[in-house]
Every structure is written in C-alpha cells, then in structure tokens.
C-alpha cells in the first residue's frame, strides 16, 4: 500500500473517525494508515444486524445482513458522512416543571446531527420584514392558490379539497367555511387560505402557519382541515405517509379524549358523508331536516365529480397491508422495506402495552431519584432503536418517535424530536422534519433548537394563528 503522503486518492475528510467499510469508498478516498488497515480488515467480516431479544415479541426476520450499500452515498461512490447515531439520546431527568423548561432551552439536538442544530427553513427575500421576536416572515404569497397553500403548510392539497370548497361556496356563498355550521363543522387550516382569512395576519411566520389548527395529538402526517365540537375537540384532516404523496385517507381524532387517529374515508366528501350519516342517528327532527338536505346535496356533487363516498376503498386496504407498525395512534406507519435484505423496519424490544407502562412510570415519577430509576429501565429500548436506525431500519426510529409524541409529556420532548427528526431525514421526508422542528414554539428566538416546538403543544381549541396574531 502506498504511504499516506504519496497516495493519490482524495483524503477522506473524516480521517480516523470514518466508519465506512465499503470497498468502493476506500478505493476512492485516502485514510490514515492505521485506520485504513483496521477498516479494510473489517471489510472481510460480514456485518450483521444486532439481534433484538424482545421481552414480549421479536420480529423473526431480523438476522439478515445490514449492507453498507444501503447508504445512498455508498451506492453513488461518494464520500459518506460519519456515523450519525452512535449513542441513544439521554432523557431529561429533571423533576420539577421549571427546571425542565430551562434544561430544554439549553440543550441541542445531537442525534443524527453532529454539527450545529438546523433551525426551521424559512425564505428571506429583499424587502421581507422580520417579526418582532426574530423569526423571518415568509415571502409574499404566490398568486397561484395551490402554491400559496404549499408555501405555508409545506404540503399539497388533493383535488377533493378544492372541489369541496367549490361545493361549500355553492351552499353558502358569503361564508363557505361555515357551510356546515348547522351540523357543528367548520372548515379550517389550509381552507383559511381559500377564504382569505389568513391575509389578515401581520406576522407571517412559517412556524405560525404550521401550528395553525394543529391539535395536541396531530403528528406531522396529519393536517387538520375540519374542526368540530370544542368539548371533545373533534376534528378531521388528511393523513399521509409521505409529504410528497397524496393523502392516504381523511381521518378523525378527538384530542380531548385520546391520541387515536381513525381513518374515515378516502376523500373529504366520503368523510363528511360518513359524519352526516352518524349525525342523523342522534339529532332531533329539526336538525335532521338540515342534515338530510346537506347530505343529499353533497352526494349529488360527489357523484357528478366522480368522488367515491366509500369509507373503505381498495386504496385504503392496499395501504393497510403496507403498515409495519400500528403505533399508539393506531393509524400506523408505512416505510420502505427491502424484502430480500429485510432492511427498513424491525420490531422494538417492547410491545405497545409494555412501552406505555414504562413511559407512565417515567411521567408519574414523584422524585428525581424515582425518575432516574425509571429512565434507566427505558434506556435499553432507546439503545436498541438507535442500533436499528444505524443498521438501516429507519422505521423503528419513526415508530418510537411517533409513540412518544402520541403519549406526550414534557420529559420526552428532546427524545421525540431527536428520533423523529432523524427518521424523517433518513426517509427523505424533509417536510415532516421541518414541521416537527417548528411546531408549537414557545419563543421564536428558540427555533434554532429542534426540540423547541414541543414546549407549546396546545391542549385546547384556541389553535388559530389569527388569535395568536391579535395578542
């Protein structure tokens, strides 16, 4: 082997810290002699997944080799970054509420991001004004309403969204958003762009738009578009597995009751029709007449425009077969899984019931000593998930992040963001990563901290950025 000084290969910028064992990487990049000998010697050894010995249930198919070629950078023969996940995140052990807030504000996200923490992505153009608390306002709204919605919510709305708005304009020309107020439903979220209500806001921060009508248990995959009663906090929204793909279905949640997300129908027409059908069984004679009139009009419009009203379609069933884990919210997650190598997802050490018991012990701890003890019992789960993510089973980190998000609790904030931010980045779901970073920020000056969004997860019905703007 040539000496390190005479070697014509490109020096690897990670030097002795490089973990890559891919042969192509070593042919192209030069490493310190001692480290190179170690790595080249290890290339001959097969790299296997760590077997997760579950206490309750273990995925049978987790003995496949984890190939280094699963890395995009290795496949393209480009220089790979250092190992992103070396140690699991440590949970916040602070007991009292006030110290917890102080600790979170001082921490930075280290899992999957060894450099400076990346703040929310916002656009800044010449002439744009910054809000009083430091976060830049987004540029002027695009003339195209579809692009305007995507600018503010980072997601594209499907065709049934725009057709439903036209239907509501036909029913209530002056206030389409209140076309269904007689049955307790109001159009919100992205619909406020169509109504023009969001033109009234002064502080046009991306974080404010992303928090607009986002309920406590709404993960990045769920975008609220209809709100119901304020007692149970019933609402409906589009649920999608990938931000670049159309919604999988319209789902509902009662945020005052639980984190459960219930698939209702493939599109908004089907979801509202299902709601009206249920309403007819419980309402009085006077309301029944209004419900029937609205339902007849909706069914006629849906039929003319070829929108199915079925609550279970072939598309929804196909998606259900791809679900790798139900998660606490029961809507499930879908991630790519390679059938040959079995890479993409493996089950966690604990099943849902066992994990909930562990989390409850942490959340219910009454002293620092008790909390430290409970965190110690949870740490093996985090370690196993970090290993799974490091071995290309990105869905496992996503499952844990969603479970923690659905469970809630200040003590888990930092861990939630670290796992979700890492999973979304590795799954190339950057829009979800941005949403999890900027939602519910208590201070926009803290937005450089990825965990800041969880400080103001709101339990209530006052979720409109119009209310926030008026304060």
> Known catalytic residues?
391
Cα–Cα distance, 446 to 438 (Å, whole number) = 10
3-class secondary-structure state, position 65: strand
Q: Find the distance separating the first CA and the last CA of the chain, reported in whole Å.
A: 69
Strand partners, 253: 235
Strand partners, 137: 205
Neighbours of 225 (CB within 10 A): 22
Cα–Cα distance, 308 to 269 (Å, whole number) = 8
Comparing CA positions, the residue from 260, 261, 135, 149 lying closest to residue 204 is 135
Judge contact between 21 and 42, C-beta under 8 A: yes
Cα–Cα distance, 315 to 308 (Å, whole number) = 11
Residue 70 CB contacts under 8 Å (≥ 6 apart), including other chains: 338, 341, 343, 392
Report the helix count and the strand count for the chain, using DSSP H and E: 17, 7
Judge contact between 261 and 330, C-beta under 8 A: yes
Q: How far is CA 243 from the centre of its chain?
A: 9
The half-sphere exposure of 285 on its side-chain side, counting CA atoms within 13 A, is: 0
- β 222-227/186-187 pair status: antiparallel
CA-based diameter of the chain, in Å? 90
Neighbours of 174 (CB within 10 A): 6
Cα–Cα distance, 4 to 36 (Å, whole number) = 10
Judge contact between 201 and 469, C-beta under 8 A: yes
Residue 213 CB contacts under 8 Å (≥ 6 apart), including other chains: 188, 189, 192, 224, 227, 235, 463, 464
Judge contact between 178 and 186, C-beta under 8 A: yes
Judge contact between 255 and 215, C-beta under 8 A: yes
Cα–Cα distance, 293 to 449 (Å, whole number) = 50
Comparing CA positions, the residue from 345, 352, 417 lying closest to residue 385 is 345
Strand partners, 235: 227, 253
Q: What are 341's two structure tokens? A: 């190598």
């Amino acid at each position: 082997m040539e000496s390190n000084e005479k070697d014509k290969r490109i020096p690897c910028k990670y030097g002795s810290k490089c973990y890559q064992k891919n042969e192509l990487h070593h042919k192209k990049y030069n490493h310190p002699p001692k480290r190179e000998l170690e790595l080249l010697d290890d290339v001959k050894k097969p790299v296997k997944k760590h077997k997760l010995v579950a206490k309750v249930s273990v995925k049978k198919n987790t003995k496949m080799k984890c190939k280094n070629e699963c890395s995009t950078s290795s496949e393209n023969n480009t220089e790979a970054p250092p190992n992103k996940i070396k140690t699991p995140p440590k949970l916040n052990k602070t007991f009292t509420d006030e110290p917890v807030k102080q600790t979170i504000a001082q921490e930075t996200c280290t899992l999957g991001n060894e450099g400076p923490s990346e703040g929310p992505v916002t656009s800044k153009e010449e002439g744009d004004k910054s809000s009083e608390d430091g976060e830049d306002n987004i540029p002027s709204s695009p003339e195209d309403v579809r692009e305007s919605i995507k600018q503010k919510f980072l997601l594209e709305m499907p065709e049934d969204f725009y057709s439903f708005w036209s239907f509501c304009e036909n029913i209530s020309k002056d206030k389409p958003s209140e076309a269904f107020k007689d049955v307790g439903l109001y159009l919100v979220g992205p619909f406020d762009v169509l109504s023009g209500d969001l033109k009234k806001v002064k502080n046009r921060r991306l974080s404010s738009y992303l928090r607009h009508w986002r309920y406590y248990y709404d993960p990045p995959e769920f975008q609220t578009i209809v709100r119901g009663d304020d007692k149970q906090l019933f609402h409906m929204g589009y649920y999608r597995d990938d931000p670049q793909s159309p919604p999988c279905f319209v789902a509902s949640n009662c945020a005052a009751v639980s984190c459960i997300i219930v698939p209702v129908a493939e599109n908004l027409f089907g979801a509202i029709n299902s709601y009206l059908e249920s309403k007819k069984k419980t309402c009085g004679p006077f309301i029944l007449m209004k419900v029937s009139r609205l339902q007849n009009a909706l069914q006629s419009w849906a039929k003319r425009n070829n929108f199915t009203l079925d609550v279970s379609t072939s598309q929804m069933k196909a998606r259900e077969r791809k679900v790798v884990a139900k998660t606490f919210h029961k809507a499930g997650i879908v991630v790519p899984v390679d059938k040959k190598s079995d890479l993409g997802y493996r089950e966690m050490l604990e099943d849902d019931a066992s994990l909930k018991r562990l989390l409850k012990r942490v959340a219910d701890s009454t002293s620092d000593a008790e909390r430290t003890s409970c965190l110690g019992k949870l740490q093996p789960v985090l370690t196993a998930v970090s290993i799974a993510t490091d071995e290309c089973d990105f869905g496992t980190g996503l499952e844990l992040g969603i479970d923690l998000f659905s469970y809630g609790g200040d003590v888990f904030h930092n861990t939630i963001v670290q796992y979700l931010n890492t999973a979304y980045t590795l799954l190339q779901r950057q829009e979800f990563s941005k949403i999890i970073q900027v939602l519910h920020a208590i201070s926009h000056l803290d937005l450089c901290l990825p965990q800041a969004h969880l400080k103001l997860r709101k339990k209530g019905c006052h979720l409109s950025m119009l209310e926030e703007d008026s304060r």
